[in-house]
Amino acid sequence: MKKKAPGKTFEQLVEVIRRLRAPDGCPWDRAQSPETLKPYVIEEAYEVVEAIEQKDPAAVCEELGDLLLQIVLQAQIYSETNAFTIADVIEAITAKMLERHPHVFGDAKADTPEEVRQNWVRIKQETKGEKSSALGDVPRSLPALLRARRLTENAAQVGFDWSRTEEVVEKVKEEWRELEKATASGDQKKIVHEFGDLLFALVNLARFLKINPDEALRQTLDRFTARFRFIEASAQAAGKSLEEMSLDEMESYWQEAKKRGL
């Protein structure tokens, strides 16, 4: 692939978006606001993730473009009220990268990813000021599993953490027992509370096991989907609907799907 300088192509994209938002531009684009575009930002980010998981470079390229479109479009809308421009966005993130990588652009030393992370947290806290929480600015809008992982990582950076995996396992067991008690009580509010505590403990366990909980759950959902579709296909081949099959029959096909590596 021939390498191209990003400057002119990026400027062309910015100009295309500006033209779409112009008075005689596209009615749909002109009708958008930062609020109406929020779902698209999230959707496009997840489509990038899916393309990466599929190991399809062409798809990744396309989805990154769709995500970049959302970034440039948001910046264009804000520029129309003189809040900031896309140049301000680029300038700010460039300055942040220079500031938070003193081991590359300065005299600091960091030989491992963990040392880099510790430096990042320290510099971020210093930059944000004394009122900044060690938990960081983790958005509430993040998916709950991802938010839990980020919060526990940040808390661990200042020593609020277990020392051994076995301790986290015991915490998971403790939360499970508390959920059992809550379930037996029939108190729905307490059940929700304890179920959340159990999930949070499992996120901590995932961190100690060096597992991304969101990724682990996505893989499980992919397996579930593949196996369930195998049951549907098997039922269709047998001339039955799922409603006509017994649970034992469906379980038999489920086990067959597992044997086939689905």
| CA–CA dist 148, 211 (Å, integer) | 13
Does any domain span residue 1?
Answer: no
In this structure, the answer to whether residues 232 and 252 fall within a common structural domain is: yes
Which pLDDT score is estimated for 131?
54
> By percentage, how much of the chain surpasses pLDDT 70?
97
2-26 pLDDT, tens digit per residue, is 677 788 899 999 999 999 999 999 9
Does any domain span residue 65?
Answer: yes
Give the pLDDT band (50/70/90) at residue 132: low
CATH number at residue 170: 1.10.287.1080
In this structure, the answer to whether residues 70 and 30 fall within a common structural domain is: yes
- The answer to whether residues 99 and 120 touch, using CB atoms and an 8 Å cutoff, is no
Residue finishing a domain among 58, 84, 110: 84
162-180 pLDDT, tens digit per residue, is 999 999 999 999 999 999 9
Q: What is the pTM of this model?
A: 0.67
192-242 pLDDT, tens digit per residue, is 999 999 999 999 999 999 999 988 998 999 999 999 999 999 999 999 999
Does any domain span residue 17?
Answer: yes
Count up the domains in the chain and report the number.
3
- Closest to 208 measured CA to CA, from 135, 136, 152: 152
Does any domain span residue 78?
Answer: yes
Q: Which residue intervals of the chain are DSSP H helices? A: 6-20, 27-31, 34-53, 57-79, 86-99, 102-105, 113-128, 144-157, 165-185, 188-208, 213-237, 247-259
Classify 138 in phi/psi space as left (phi over 0), alpha (psi -120 to 50) or beta.
beta
Does any domain span residue 94?
Answer: no
Which two structure tokens, joined as six digits, stand for 150? 């980020």
In this structure, the answer to whether residues 53 and 80 fall within a common structural domain is: yes
Residue numbers of the domain that contains 174: 136-211
In this structure, the answer to whether residues 190 and 243 fall within a common structural domain is: no
Does any domain span residue 179?
Answer: yes
Burial (CB count <10 Å: 0-12, 13-18, 19+), residue 186: exposed
Which pLDDT score is estimated for 1?
59
- The answer to whether residues 119 and 100 touch, using CB atoms and an 8 Å cutoff, is yes
Give the pLDDT band (50/70/90) at residue 95: very high
Least confident of 49-58, 128-137, 222-231, 246-255: 128-137
In this structure, the answer to whether residues 193 and 218 fall within a common structural domain is: no
Q: How far is CA 155 from CA 133, 159, 161, 175, 248, in A?
A: 10, 7, 7, 20, 46
- Closest to 233 measured CA to CA, from 257, 259, 199: 257
Does any domain span residue 120?
Answer: no
31-61 pLDDT, tens digit per residue, is 999 999 999 999 999 999 999 989 999 999 9
Tell me the CB-side half-sphere exposure of residue 113, using CA atoms within 13 A.
0
Which pLDDT score is estimated for 209?
96
In this structure, the answer to whether residues 155 and 192 fall within a common structural domain is: yes
| CA–CA dist 185, 192 (Å, integer) | 12
- Closest to 204 measured CA to CA, from 169, 158, 157: 169
Give the pLDDT band (50/70/90) at residue 119: confident
Q: Is the pLDDT of residue 129 over 70?
A: no
Calculate the average pLDDT of the chain. Answer: 91
Which pLDDT score is estimated for 138?
82
In this structure, the answer to whether residues 55 and 42 fall within a common structural domain is: yes
Does any domain span residue 60?
Answer: yes
The dihedral built from the CA positions of residue 95, 96, 99 and 101, taken in this order, carries a sign that is negative
